[in-house]
Structure 1
Amino acid sequence: MARPRRRSMYPSWFFLPAGVFYVVLFLIPTGASLYFALTRWTLFDSEFIGFDNFVAFFQDPALSTGFVNTFVFAAVTSALKVVLGMALGLLLSAQIIGRGFLRSVVFFPVLVSTIGVGITFKVLLDPFDGLVNRVIEFFGATGPGWLTDPALALLSVAFVDVWKGVGLAALIYIAGIVAIPQEYSEAARVDGASAWHHFRHITLPLLRPATVTVVLLSLIGGLRSFDLIWAMTKGGPGFTSDVIASVIYKQYQAGFFGLSTAGNVILFLVVAAIIFPLSAWLNRKETEL
Structure 2
Amino acid sequence: MASTVSTPEATRLAASGTTTKTGRARRKGPYPYWFLLAPGIIYLVFFVVPTLSSFYFSFTRWDLFTSRWIGLENYRTFFAEQALVIGLRNTVIYAVLTSGLKVVLGMALAVLLTSKIIARGYLRSVIFFPVLVSAIGVGITFTILMNPEKGLINTSLARVGIDGPGWLTNPSLALVSVALVDVWKGVGLATVIYIAGLVSIAGEYNEAAQVDGASRWQLFRTITLPLARPATASVITLSLIGGLRSFDIIWAMTRGGPGFASDVIGSVIYKQYQAGFYGLSTAGSVVLFLLVTVIVVPLTRWLNRGED
Aligned length: 287
Q: Give the equivalent residue in structure 2 for 1:85.
A: 106
- Alignment RMSD (CA, Å): 1.5
Tell me, in whole angstroms, the C-alpha distance in 2 between the residues paired with 1:64 and 1:185. 49
Separation (CA, whole Å) in 2 of partners of 1:67 and 1:42: 25
Deviation at 1:5, TM superposition (A): 3.4
Give the aligned partner of residue 154 of structure 2.
133
Q: Of the candidates 262, 287, 308, which is equivalent to residue 241 of structure 1?
A: 262
Equivalent residue, structure 2, for 1:206? 227
Q: Which residue identity lines up with residue 71 of structure 1 in the other structure?
A: V
CA distance in 2, matches of 1:242, 1:118: 15
Matched ranges for 1:170-185 at <5 A:
170-185=191-206
2:138 matched to which residue of 1?
A: 117
Structure 2: runs of 5 or more not aligned:
1-8, 10-22
Letter matched to residue 93 of structure 1: T
- Where 1:8 maps in the other structure, the secondary structure is coil
Alignment of 1:140-155 (within 5 A): 140-155=161-176
Q: Residue 5 of structure 2 aligns with which residue?
A: none
Compare relative contact order (CA 8 Å, sep 6+) and give the higher one, 1 or 2. 1
Preserved contact between residue 58 and residue 74 of structure 2 (Cα < 8 Å)? yes
Of 65, 75, 86, which residue of structure 2 is paired with 1:44? 65
- Partners of 2:101 and 2:241 lie apart in 1 by 15
Query: Helix, strand or coil: the match of 2:168?
Result: coil
- For 2:226 and 2:301, how far apart are their aligned partners in 1? 18
Question: Is the 2:127–2:188 contact (alpha carbons within 8 Å) kept by the matching residues of 1?
Answer: yes
> Structure 2: how far apart are the matches of 1:15 and 1:91?
43
Please say if 1:217 is aligned against 2:238: yes
SS at match of 1:47: strand
SS class of match (2:142): helix
Matched, 1:72 2:81: no
Structure 1 partner of 2:14: none
Matched letter for residue 16 of structure 1:
L
Residues of 2 paired with 1:9 and 1:174: CA distance? Answer: 42
Equivalent-residue separation in structure 1 for 2:25 and 2:291 (angstroms): 49
Matched residues in 1 for 2:244 and 2:210: separation?
42
Report if the CA contact (8 A) 2:145-2:153 is conserved.
yes
TM-score norm. by structure 1 comes to 0.96
Matched position secondary structure for 1:162: helix
Query: Do residues 107 (structure 1) and 143 (structure 2) align?
Result: no
Separation in 1, partners of 2:185, 2:147: 19
Amino acid of the residue matched to residue 94 of structure 1?
S
Deviation per residue, 1:76-98 (Å, 9 max, x gap): 11110000000001111112111
Alpha-carbon offset, residue 10 of structure 1: 2.5
1:190 Cα deviation (Å)?
2.3
User: Do 2:131 and 2:188's aligned partners in 1 also have CA atoms closer than 8 Å?
Assistant: yes
Aligned-partner SS, 1:33: helix
1:4 Cα deviation after fit: 4.5
Shift of 1:219: 0.7
**Range with bigger deviation, 233-242 or 179-188:** 179-188
SS in structure 1 at match of 2:136: helix
Give the distance between the partners of 2:289 and 2:37, measured in 1 at CA.
26
> Matched residues in 1 for 2:121 and 2:103: separation?
21
Looking at structure 1, the residues matched to 24 and 84 of structure 2 have their Cα atoms a distance apart, in angstroms, of 65
SS of structure 1 residue aligned to 2:171: coil
Quick one: distance in 2 between partners of 1:275 and 1:130? 37
Does structure 1 conserve the Cα–Cα contact (< 8 Å) formed by 2:78 and 2:85? no
Identity %: 63
* Letter in structure 2 aligned against 1:271: V
Mapped partners of 2:304, 2:24: distance in 1: 43
